[in-house]
Structure 1
Amino acid sequence: MFARLPTVAIIDGPHFYAATRALGWDVDYKLFPAWLDEATVAAGSTNLRRLVYCTALQDEVGADRENPLLGLVRWLGFNGYIVRVKLAREWTEPETGRRRLRFSSAVELTVAMVEAAEHVAQLVLVTGDGDMTPAVDYVQRRHGARVVSVSTTRAPDGSMIADSLRAQADAYLDLADLETQFGKPLAAARRRLNQGKASTP
């Protein structure tokens, strides 16, 4: 599924979290780059050039506690990931007047893809967002980049990747087949949150 080419992985953090949780497991961010390293190695040398993690954070989660995602973001930044963070956008439902938060990182993902495609031949894109389809098409046509899409069609509530994105990508990997590569049990993640130790991935 992977070509043994210089590679950059670009991760939609909220989607990665939601998709693996829907499948009943959590991501081990220490194992994820090791898996990519092994999958793309050529002539005994790694082809993994960069890991870019994009996410949106809620500005305030309460005066008495810190946003638990900040621990993960800090850990990633100290352990080889390039982290791009923006504040979640707030909007109000016209029908109910309820406040909602939108955690889309489409702009950050697009910028990361275009920047990376200028330097490497293969992009691994972890997202299911159909809004990324034009960006995938662009880097394929303009730079000749090969794009491997990673998401799932096998969550209990149905597919979590847009058909347009899956069709546009050069290859597709389903997270349901990757738990043994970089997954860990949900129970461990829940215990860390209960103990206030969400900083360890």
Structure 2
Amino acid sequence: MFYKGERIAVFIDGANFFSAAKALNFEIDYRLLREEFMRRGKLVRMSYHIALLENDEFTTLRPLVDWLCYNGYSVASKTAREYTDPQGRRKVKSNVAIDIAVASLELSPHVDHIVLFSGDGDLRPLVEAIKRTGVRVSIVSTIRSQPSMISDELRRTADNFIELDQLKAVISRPARQHTAAEHDEPENELAEAAAS
């Protein structure tokens, strides 16, 4: 799926990627993830997109975002909006698909292969547009979760589909003990962003 010497750009929908890894029961080691794609070709850009809650001066995601910024990732964050639905449930509205679309289209003339870590069906027109420029597109997500984390239309449109479960052994963090606060807060925040 990857050719020696090809220029690669990777775009990660942070909340979607987190949810897919959680569904497969593993934690992502972002250092190993970057190293994996450096081995696969000439890594031009490793871009991580995330929505953070407005009016939240400290977020449990801040340490991850800071680490990514200092370790070879281009991080694009935007503000997520929190609201209460008619049933009184707290909801978070965030969507980074348009940000990923703009960034990947701008970079497509400078790469041979774009890898999208997302299963969001809204990205199908983006994949079609990138392919028309002659750039190959791979999608990384999973069909091994219940329900599947990838849109069938997106999977069919891409040049390649990479099953996240097959990358698990290469990019997962070793298991470690968590405190309750350490375990719950980041997952809840990312899961809420992914669900919207």
> TM-score higher than 0.5 here?
yes
Distance verdict in 2 for CA 1:175–1:192, change over 3 Å: farther
Q: Does 1:131 align with 2:122?
A: yes
Structure 1 residues 140-192: Cα deviation after superposition (integer angstroms, max 9, x where no partner): 11x1110010000001x22100001100100010111111111114545x359
Q: How many residues align?
A: 183
Structure 1 residues 22-80: Cα deviation after superposition (integer angstroms, max 9, x where no partner): 1010110111111111122xxxxxx111101000011245x8xx211011001101111
The 5 A counterparts of 1:62-73 are 66-73=58-65
Distance in 2 between residues matched to 1:182 and 1:55, nearest whole Å: 19
Unaligned runs of 5+ in 1: 41-46
Distance in 2 between residues matched to 1:104 and 1:24, nearest whole Å: 24
Letter in 2 for 1:154: R
Unaligned runs of 5+ in 2: 187-196
Structure 1 residues 79-115: Cα deviation after superposition (integer angstroms, max 9, x where no partner): 1100000011234424x14341023211111111101
**Alignment partner of 1:110 out of 101, 115, 139:** 101
Q: Which has the higher helix share?
A: 2
Distance in 2 between residues matched to 1:172 and 1:111, nearest whole Å: 22
Cross-structure match for 1:13 = 14
Cross-structure match for 2:3 = 3
The 5 A counterparts of 1:47-196 are 47-61=42-56, 66-94=58-86, 96-141=87-132, 143-155=133-145, 157-185=146-174, 187=176, 190-191=178-179, 194=182
Distance in 1 between residues matched to 2:21 and 2:181, nearest whole Å: 17
Letter in 1 for 2:63: G
Letter in 2 for 1:140: K
Distance in 2 between residues matched to 1:12 and 1:194, nearest whole Å: 22
CA RMSD of aligned residues (A): 2.0
What SS is found at the alignment partner of 1:26? coil
Distance in 1 between residues matched to 2:84 and 2:170, nearest whole Å: 40
CA contact (8 A) 2:11 2:48 kept: yes
TM-score between the two structures when normalised by the length of structure 2? 0.86
**Moved beyond 4 Å, runs of 4+:** none
